[in-house]
């Protein structure tokens, strides 16, 4: 066996139906007295319900979280946090709310509790992507990690089918890139394969039967594993592309990841035969992994083309320039013409190719 290094990120995980009821006890365990509850505008009612549940442990609700963690939104949230004298952060939602909590924790050092309602995986990663002036920048720091994550399947039952599917494929992308990461290791590869398999078998059921708690729990389990992979090893081309596309053109995060993933897999396939074998095994199909993933978009009712989620055609060249302007490790070197073709195919919704 090849030598490897494995770093485990600390986290307290509460997994199971109904475990949101333990939120107050977890805040007390952290020594918190006034929590800032973070939601999106669409989740105001959820924030209000948590306020009622926590009683005097709740300081205020900030319901302005949005995609890609814009720094101007973080500034507004920070002012609200300070005005209400809150000493802990509770994020309930997907990557937008959890990203904002991380940004606030980075600036204040306050403890966080994350309650994911999607399959994004951000809750178990020491990674933050922030957007300013149309550019998204990513950083890693152990101070970004939530101290507690509550995976309560009941909080995912109302997640719409399309959002469930795109969020699940976004999670899969973390594990796919972990398989061929520069610092890949046997432990993370095992988790990646298991996480991909859990999502591959559960997402079709979730889409057809959104109220199926068993499938939802399986998907949440897979998302946790995939997010843990993202938090433990570095990423590659797929994440670079999606950060550029999302941060520069304000594309929806999960859908962007879902559309780009098959093309990024195909780009790296020739130089990563063992990871491709693992991926194929996890997907459980007979097709090539990139073909299988592209077909999953259609079978799950998701868009296959970047143009269908708001990508302007004139932005393709700018996206390519941004990807090439910043050194970013990938198992296959970043080559302008193949990447131009990749972006064109993803824009049009064409099948991924190995060129």
From first to last of its 355 residues, the chain has per-residue pLDDT tens of: 778 888 888 889 999 999 999 999 999 999 999 999 999 999 999 999 999 999 999 999 999 999 889 999 999 999 999 999 999 999 999 999 999 999 999 999 999 999 999 998 999 999 998 999 888 888 889 999 999 999 999 999 999 999 999 999 999 999 999 999 999 999 999 999 999 999 999 999 999 999 999 999 999 999 999 999 999 999 999 999 999 999 899 999 999 999 999 999 999 999 999 999 999 999 997 899 999 999 999 999 999 999 999 999 999 999 999 999 987 899 999 999 999 999 999 999 999 998 7
| pLDDT for 9 | 86
Q: How far is CA 43 from CA 52, 101, 115, 246, 275, in A?
A: 15, 15, 13, 22, 38
CA 310/CA 252 separation, integer angstroms: 9
| pLDDT for 11 | 87
CA 267/CA 290 separation, integer angstroms: 9
Residue 301 near residue 295, CB atoms below 8 Å: no
| pLDDT for 137 | 86
CA 273/CA 250 separation, integer angstroms: 34
| pLDDT for 57 | 97
Hey, how many other C-beta atoms are within 10 angstroms of the C-beta on 118? 28
CATH architecture of 12-156: 3-Layer(aba) Sandwich (3.40)
CA 45/CA 62 separation, integer angstroms: 12
SS3 label, residue 140: strand
Tokens of 38: 């973070």
Domain boundaries, the chain: 12-156, 161-348
Number of H helices, E strands in the chain: 13, 8
Q: Which residues contact 288 (CB under 8 A, 6 or more apart)?
A: 269, 276, 280
Q: Provide the sign of the torsion angle of the four alpha carbons 308, 303, 168, 318, taken in this order.
A: negative
CATH architecture of 161-348: Up-down Bundle (1.20)
């Amino acid at each position: 066996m090849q030598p490897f290094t494995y770093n485990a990120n600390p986290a307290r995980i509460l997994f199971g139906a109904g475990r949101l009821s333990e939120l107050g006890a977890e805040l007390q365990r952290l020594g918190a007295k006034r929590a800032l509850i973070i939601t999106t505008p669409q989740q105001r009612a959820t924030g209000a319900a948590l306020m009622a549940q926590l009683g005097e442990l709740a300081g205020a609700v900030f319901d302005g979280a949005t995609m890609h963690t814009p720094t101007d939104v973080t500034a507004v949230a920070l002012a609200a946090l300070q005005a209400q004298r809150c000493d802990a952060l509770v994020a309930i939602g997907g990557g937008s709310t959890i990203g904002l909590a991380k940004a606030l924790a980075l600036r204040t050092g306050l403890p966080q509790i994350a309650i994911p309602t999607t399959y994004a995986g951000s809750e178990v990663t020491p990674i933050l992507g922030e957007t300013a002036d149309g550019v998204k920048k990513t950083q890693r720091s152990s101070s970004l990690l939530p101290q507690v994550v509550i995976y309560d399947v009941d909080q995912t039952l109302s997640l719409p089918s399309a959002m469930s599917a795109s969020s699940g494929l976004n999670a899969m992308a973390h594990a796919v890139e972990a398989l061929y990461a520069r610092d890949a290791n046997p432990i993370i590869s095992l988790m990646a394969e298991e996480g991909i398999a859990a999502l591959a078998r559960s997402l079709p059921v979730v889409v057809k039967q959104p109220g199926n708690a068993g499938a939802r729990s399986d998907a949440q389990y897979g998302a946790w594993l995939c997010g843990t992979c993202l938090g433990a090893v570095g990423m590659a081309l797929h994440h670079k592309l999606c950060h550029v596309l999302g941060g520069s053109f304000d594309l929806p995060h999960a859908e962007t990841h879902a559309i780009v993933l098959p093309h990024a897999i195909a780009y790296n396939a020739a130089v990563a035969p063992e990871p491709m074998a693992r991926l194929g095994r996890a997907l459980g199909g007979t097709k090539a992994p990139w073909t299988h993933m592209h077909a999953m978009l259609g079978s799950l009712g998701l868009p296959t083309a970047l143009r269908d989620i708001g990508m302007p055609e004139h932005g393709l060249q700018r996206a390519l320039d941004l990807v090439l302007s910043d050194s970013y490790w990938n198992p296959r070197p970043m080559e302008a013409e193949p990447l131009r073709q990749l972006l064109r195919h993803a824009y049009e919704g064409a099948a991924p190719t190995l060129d």
